[in-house]
């Protein structure tokens, strides 16, 4: 029993389960707006299962593909995929199981979700290989998480309305923007190992500028989402308020690169939760 508990802890560390907080709020935002309120316990359970299995799949592929890179990087050398706690065959089984769970959940949800399940998994897996030949890896990560709102609205309405695309575009640029900030930690390592990150190719100043531009676009698309979905005051506060949060994140990193972890995990985590709470409030009072 103790061994099973330890294995569970190792897999939790492998995929950083707690970081699911980035994608879950925006799935539920899309579901709340699509349903114009509460969407039911059944879809809640299916939505959580789909989100967690998709993220576990993506993180599993990333760790499986990056074992050689992680082993060279002092920041990642203690990960379970590197230090021997989890071998490659175990990680591969983990990847396959989560892929099957995601496809099965999509099948239960509706035919459109099922038809898109494998293409979505392909997009999620592609991020792990992009950094080997393209600096667009940051945007691909954004696309991977930006699919979450699309998946949420498909689960409720089996359609992809304009507002969900705008919400998704906001998530794409939000994620790409904070991934750029996060990747500043590895700028020297990426240069030495010929990896295609924007910091290693264009430098820290260009990275900070592009990150800020991406975050400005994220706020713009979220404001357009509020307009296209016909939402109210609290939804507008959520979209506009995200601009102040992201400005604080940018300022935090510019002032001190040692604050990158705080900006990445804490600030972005609060942003997603606050955005969701305000959207729920908006639907309650409308």
Q: pLDDT tens for residues 133-166?
A: 877 888 888 888 888 899 889 989 988 999 999 9
- The residues spanned by each domain of the chain are 2-285
pLDDT attached to residue 265:
66
Cβ distance 96 to 104 under 8 Å? no
Question: If you ran DSSP here, which 8-state letter would residue 218 be given?
Answer: H
Q: Are 219 and 157 in contact (CB under 8 A)?
A: no
* pLDDT at residue 164, as a whole number: 95
**Would you tell me how many other CB atoms lie within 10 Å of the CB of residue 162?**
11
CATH class, range 2-285? mainly alpha
Q: 118 in helix, strand or coil?
A: helix
Q: CA–CA separation, 192 vs 71, rounded Å?
A: 14
Is the separation of the CB atoms in 54 and 140 below 8 Å? no
Q: Find all residues with CB under 8 Å of 195, minimum gap 6, and list them.
A: 69, 131, 132, 186, 189
In angstroms, the CA 283 to CA 33 distance is 8
Output the pLDDT for position 9: 64
pLDDT at residue 240 tops 90: yes
pTM assigned to the model: 0.89
Least confident of 76-90, 160-174, 187-201: 76-90
- With a pLDDT cut of 90, the percent of the chain lying above it is 36
């Amino acid at each position: 029993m103790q061994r099973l508990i330890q294995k569970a802890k190792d897999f939790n560390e492998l995929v950083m389960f707690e970081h699911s907080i980035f994608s879950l709020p925006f799935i539920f935002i899309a579901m709340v707006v699509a349903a114009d309120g509460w969407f039911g316990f059944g879809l809640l359970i299916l939505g959580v299962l789909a989100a967690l299995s998709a993220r576990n799949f993506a993180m599993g592929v990333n760790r499986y593909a990056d074992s050689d890179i992680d082993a060279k990087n002092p920041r990642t050398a203690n990960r379970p995929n590197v230090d021997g706690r989890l071998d490659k065959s175990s990680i591969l089984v983990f990847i396959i199981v989560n892929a099957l769970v995601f496809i099965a959940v999509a099948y239960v949800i509706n035919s459109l979700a099922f038809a898109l399940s494998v293409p979505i998994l392909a997009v999620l897996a592609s991020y792990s290989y992009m950094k080997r030949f393209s600096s667009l890896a940051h945007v691909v990560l954004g696309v991977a998480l930006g699919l979450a709102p699309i998946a949420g609205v498909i689960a409720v309405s089996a359609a992809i309305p304009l507002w969900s695309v705008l919400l998704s575009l906001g998530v794409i640029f939000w994620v790409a923007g904070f991934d750029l900030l996060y990747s500043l930690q590895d700028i020297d390592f990426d240069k030495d190992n010929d990896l295609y990150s924007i910091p290693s190719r264009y430098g820290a100043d260009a990275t900070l500028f592009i990150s800020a531009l991406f975050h400005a676009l994220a706020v713009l698309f979220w404001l357009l989402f509020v307009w296209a979905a016909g939402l109210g005051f609290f939804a507008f506060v959520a979209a506009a308020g995200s601009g102040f949060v992201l400005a604080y994140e940018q300022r935090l990193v510019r002032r001190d690169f040692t604050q990158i972890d705080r900006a990445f995990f804490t600030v972005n985590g609060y942003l997603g939760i606050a955005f969701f709470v305000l959207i729920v409030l908006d639907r309650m009072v409308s």
